[in-house]
Amino acid sequence: MSELHAGRPALYDDFVPAFLDFVRYHRGRRTTHQMENGLDKFFRWLTHRGVSDLQSLTALDIRDFVPSLQSYRPGTIAVHASTLRSFLGYLYFKGILVHDLSHAVERPRFYCWSQPSPVFDPEIVEHLLGSVYRTTAIGKRDYAILLLAARYGLLRNQLRRGLKGRLPQG
């Protein structure tokens, strides 16, 4: 037994190998390492929580698991959530679970610009904001847009495309 498999909860050994074989056969996946890793985390979390059999598993247990992964990157959380959703659907399909709990797994949301984008140097941003003529309605609008872009981030190329010819020189 490898070190990775040592100390795995008994529930893992009772259900996961059959699920992984099912996935390999029906979905044609050659490798299931990520699934094993995610389900290992899930079953260790269940053991820590005191859940000793899958029949006592509730939707609340499932909803509480995904937030326990917050220290991981969003992509890793999404993979673990997808694996858990598939596993719970499998358990329901096989009649091991009376209720389909796969719907209790929240899908992590990703936003294409959720990470701050590269920004201009603070001096350039201040120079740009200071160059806006704010006594007119259009100037106030432009200043507000630029201020939002500076504070919340805007991709450098978008800013350059949108303001081409309007940026102060120097």
Q: What is the pLDDT of residues 114-142, one digit of tens each?
A: 555 555 677 888 888 889 999 999 999 98
Where do the domains of the chain lie? 10-104, 122-162
Dihedrals phi, psi of 58, to nearest 5 degrees: -120, 165
pLDDT in tens, 73-99: 888 888 889 899 999 999 999 999 999
Q: Supply 69's token pair.
A: 């992964």
Residue 129 CA from chain centroid, whole number: 35
Fold of 10-104: DNA polymerase; domain 1 (1.10.150)
